[in-house]
């Protein structure tokens, strides 16, 4: 595992969400409410569309914030780890830089997890910051994995330009299912919305022997879920690096069972 050194580009004040938070932070509120205030601002960021976030992306490139030591100590430093800040630099790559999130730390399942956490996982995913595996930080997400998005809203911040849309437009590549194919409609709607994916390793995943793949939209909503044999990670990531997406994967599937929520992907 690489040492947790903060990348220069992830320094305090340089991330788009830094600028957003510093602009809106209410210093008149009690310090005891800081976590609540951070979560509220993260939810506000997640609720915005791409044009709403775009000005902060531009500022991060042209005129980043310069927080004081006091602002950094109160607003930014306590709410994200160095790993999470570094991760925020990579998430615009979307499916090319997937997050590996572990929320289950049961000793009973530790051996199963160890067999999934291969030595080359960092290389497979692309960067050490993409592995979120820290019991003190992520065990609190055990009941609700999406709480990680309050820590790192950049995970779903993949639409960086105003000409991109939150939902793919209808065109020849997105023809809706025809008569007799109504069972395909949930995947059709999901593939128009998904912008990134993440691996989730929770208790259910470990007990079933299958990694969860969550397909997320720009707002952090899980629009579709699949399962994957943990020994097929290389093949799956390879598909994503070749320009893969939920829609790309489902071009290969016609069986109705593959269009059920949580279907196991067959990756060749």
Higher pLDDT, residue 154 or 2: 154
Q: What ranges make up the beta strands (E) of the chain?
A: 99-102, 131-132, 196-201, 211-216, 222-228, 263-264
Residue 154 lies in a domain: yes
CB 166 within 8 A of CB 217: yes
Q: For 82-101, what is each residue's pLDDT tens digit?
A: 999 999 999 988 888 999 99
Residue 96 resides in a domain: yes
Asked if the structure places residue 175 within a domain, the reply is yes
Q: Which pLDDT belongs to residue 1? A: 44
pLDDT higher than 70, residue 163: no
Q: What angle do CA 57, 6, 162 make, to 5 degrees?
A: 10
- The answer to whether residue 159 is domain-embedded is yes
Q: Is 224 among the domain residues?
A: yes
Residue 64 inside a domain? The answer is no
Instruction: Note whether residue 172 is domain-resident.
Output: yes
- Domain total in the chain: 1
Does residue 230 register a pLDDT over 60? yes
* pLDDT tens per residue, range 164-223: 666 765 544 667 888 888 999 999 999 999 999 999 999 999 999 999 999 999 999 999
Domain that holds residue 192: 81-264
Is position 219 within any domain?
yes
Q: Going edge to edge, which strands form the sheet with 131-132?
A: 131-132, 99-102, 196-201, 211-216, 222-228, 263-264
12-32 confidence digits (pLDDT tens)? 999 999 999 999 999 999 999
């Amino acid at each position: 595992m690489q040492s947790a050194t903060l990348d220069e580009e992830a320094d305090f004040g340089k991330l788009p969400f830094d600028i957003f938070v510093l602009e809106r932070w209410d210093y008149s509120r009690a310090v005891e409410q800081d976590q609540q205030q951070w979560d509220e601002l993260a939810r506000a960021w997640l609720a915005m569309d791409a044009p709403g976030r775009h000005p902060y992306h531009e500022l991060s490139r042209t005129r980043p914030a310069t927080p004081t030591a006091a602002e950094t100590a109160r607003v930014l430093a306590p709410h994200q780890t160095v790993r999470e800040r570094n991760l925020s630099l990579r998430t615009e790559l979307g499916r090319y830089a997937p997050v590996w999130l572990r929320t289950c730390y049961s000793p009973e399942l530790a051996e199963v997890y160890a067999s999934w956490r291969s030595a080359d996982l960092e290389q497979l995913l692309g960067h050490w910051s993409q592995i979120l595996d820290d019991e003190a930080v992520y065990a609190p997400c055990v009941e609700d994995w999406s709480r990680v998005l309050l820590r790192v809203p950049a995970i779903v911040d993949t639409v960086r330009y105003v000409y991109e849309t939150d939902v793919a437009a209808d065109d020849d590549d997105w023809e809706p299912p025809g008569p007799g194919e109504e069972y395909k409609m949930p995947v059709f709607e999901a593939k128009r919305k998904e912008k990134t994916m993440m691996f989730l390793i929770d208790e259910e995943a470990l007990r079933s022997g299958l990694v969860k793949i969550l397909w997320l939209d720009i707002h952090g909503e899980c629009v579709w879920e699949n399962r994957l044999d943990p020994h097929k990670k290389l093949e799956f990531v390879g598909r994503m690096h070749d320009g893969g997406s939920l829609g790309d994967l489902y071009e290969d599937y016609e069986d109705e069972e593959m269009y059920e929520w949580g279907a196991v992907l067959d990756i060749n």
